[in-house]
C-alpha cells in the first residue's frame, strides 16, 4: 500500500491538523500532507503547517479579491497538489460544487456532533446546540462530503457523555479528544483501501 497524499483544509486552531501530523510522525499513519489550504491567514493550523514545513495556500476572501477568485485559487492549488484525499479539519467555508464533484468520495469532513443531529454551523455552535437540547450523549462524526451540508455518508463516529455541569468549552474539549483519534483512524482506513462506498453507505473492509 502506498503513502496516501493529503490536502488538509482548515480555518481554526488546527488541533485536528496536528493530530494528523502526530499520527504520521509516530508512524501510525502512512500519509503525507502535501498542502494546507486555509481561508484564514495566520490561523493556528497555518502556523502549525509552517512549523512542519508544509506548503500553505492562504486564500482569504479579502486577499483573493472576492469569492469567485478565492474558489479559483483554492481549486487550482488543490488540483495541482494531486492529492488522494481532501480532509476538512475545521474548515469554515462550504466547498464549491466543482471541487465536490471533482473529488467525489475523496473528501472527508469532521463535525463536532453525532450527525445527523446538530448538523450545520461551525464549532462551537453544534456543541452549544447539543447542550441546549439536553442530550446525554454527543460526539463527533467523520463523513464523506457531498453537496448537501453535513449530510454525506457517515464513515465513523465517537460518542462522549454530556455531563450536567458541562459548559460549551468543556464539552467541546471532550469531543475534540475523540476527534483526534477518529480523524487519523479514518485516513488510515483510506490509506489501506478499506473504505467501501455502496448505495450511499460506507462500510470498512476487514483486514486479512
Ligand atoms: C473541530 O471541533 C471540528 O469538528 C469543527 O471545528 C473544530 C476545529 O478544531 N468542525 C466544524 O465545526 C465543521 N462544521 P481544530 O481547528 O482545533 O481542529
pLDDT (tens digit, 9 = 90+) per residue, 125-173? 999 999 999 999 999 999 999 999 999 999 999 999 999 999 999 999 9
Residues catalogued as catalytic = 111
Residue 114 Cβ < 6 Å to ligand 1: no
* pLDDT bucket at 207, cuts 50 / 70 / 90: confident
- Signed CA dihedral, 83, 58, 56, 12: sign only: negative
pTM of the entire structure? 0.97
- Signed CA dihedral, 9, 104, 119, 202: sign only: negative
Residue 10 Cβ < 6 Å to ligand 1: yes
Residues 8-65: tens digit of each pLDDT: 999 999 999 999 999 999 999 999 999 999 999 999 999 999 999 999 999 999 999 9
Q: Residue 37 C-alpha to ligand 1 middle, in angstroms?
A: 15
Check which CATH number belongs to the domain holding 144 and give it.
3.40.50.170
Domain range for 194: 4-204
What's the number of domains the chain is made of?
1
**pLDDT at residue 1 tops 80:** no
Residues 183-201: tens digit of each pLDDT: 999 999 999 999 999 999 9
Most informative mutation of 10, 110, 121, 141 for ligand 1 (most atoms within 8 A of CB): 110
* pLDDT bucket at 2, cuts 50 / 70 / 90: confident
Q: Cβ contacts of residue 21 below 8 Å, gap of 6+? A: 33, 48, 52
Which atom belonging to ligand 1 lies closest to the Cα atom of 43? 16
Residue 110 Cβ < 6 Å to ligand 1: yes
Amino acid at each position: 500500500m502506498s503513502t496516501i497524499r493529503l490536502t488538509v483544509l482548515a480555518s481554526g486552531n488546527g488541533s485536528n491538523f496536528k493530530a494528523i501530523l502526530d499520527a504520521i510522525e509516530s508512524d501510525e499513519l502512512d500519509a503525507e500532507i502535501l498542502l494546507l489550504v486555509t481561508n484564514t491567514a495566520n490561523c493556528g493550523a497555518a502556523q502549525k503547517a509552517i512549523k512542519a514545513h508544509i506548503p500553505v495556500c492562504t486564500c482569504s476572501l479579502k486577499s483573493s479579491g472576492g469569492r469567485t477568485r478565492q474558489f479559483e485559487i483554492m481549486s487550482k492549488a488543490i488540483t495541482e497538489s494531486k492529492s488522494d484525499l481532501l480532509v476538512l479539519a475545521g474548515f469554515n467555508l462550504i466547498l464549491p460544487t466543482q471541487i465536490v464533484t471533482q473529488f467525489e468520495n475523496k473528501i472527508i469532513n469532521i463535525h463536532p456532533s453525532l450527525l445527523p443531529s446538530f448538523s450545520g454551523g461551525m464549532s462551537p455552535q453544534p456543541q452549544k446546540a447539543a447542550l441546549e437540547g439536553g442530550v446525554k450523549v454527543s460526539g463527533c462524526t467523520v463523513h464523506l462530503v457531498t453537496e448537501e451540508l453535513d449530510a454525506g455518508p457517515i464513515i465513523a463516529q465517537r460518542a462522549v457523555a454530556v455531563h450536567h455541569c458541562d459548559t460549551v468549552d468543556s464539552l467541546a474539549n471532550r469531543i475534540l479528544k475523540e476527534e483526534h483519534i477518529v480523524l487519523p483512524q479514518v485516513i488510515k482506513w483510506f490509506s489501506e483501501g478499506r473504505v467501501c462506498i455502496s448505495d450511499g453507505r460506507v462500510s470498512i473492509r476487514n483486514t486479512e
